[in-house]
């Protein structure tokens, strides 16, 4: 998964566990596409400090995902839902196949 997409998804699931400042900086960097220098200027700090904070937050968000697997579970659920939709649209839809998929949710 592309890093920017992954971090945005991780922020959706775990962003509330970060501080307001961390969320704000990650939002500026990943969603608003500010450069490290622009963020550093806005925060009255160094570019290196912003870089370090972004790296730490990225690691923190990945640690949360490793422990809780909310993103992984969500992706799996969406894949299962899509398979169910496909089966329902096919003429030869077997209920046992759908039941099996539902149990995976």
**pLDDT by 10s per residue, the chain, length 105:** 578 889 999 999 999 999 999 999 999 999 899 999 999 999 999 999 999 999 999 999 999 999 999 999 999 999 988 888 787 767 666 667 777 777 776
Domain at 62, CATH number: 1.10.10.10
Task: Specify whether 51 is located in the same domain as 21.
Answer: yes
Task: Specify whether 50 is located in the same domain as 3.
Answer: yes
Total of domains in the chain: 2
Task: Specify whether 40 is located in the same domain as 11.
Answer: yes
Task: Specify whether 59 is located in the same domain as 22.
Answer: yes
Q: Chain centroid to CA 2: how far?
A: 11
Task: Specify whether 28 is located in the same domain as 63.
Answer: yes
Task: Specify whether 50 is located in the same domain as 38.
Answer: yes
Enclosing domain of residue 48: 1-68
pTM above 0.85, yes or no: no
For residue 86, the model assigns a pLDDT of: 80
């Amino acid at each position: 998964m592309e890093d920017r997409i992954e971090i945005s998804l991780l922020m959706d699931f775990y962003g509330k566990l970060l501080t307001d400042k961390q969320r704000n900086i990650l939002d500026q960097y990943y969603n608003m596409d500010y450069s490290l220098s622009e963020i550093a200027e806005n925060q009255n700090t160094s570019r290196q400090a912003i870089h370090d904070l972004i790296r730490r937050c990225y690691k923190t968000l990945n640690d949360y995902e490793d422990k809780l697997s909310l993103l992984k579970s969500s992706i799996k659920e969406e894949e299962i839902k899509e398979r169910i939709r496909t089966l329902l649209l096919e003429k030869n839809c077997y209920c046992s196949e759908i039941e099996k998929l539902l149990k995976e949710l």
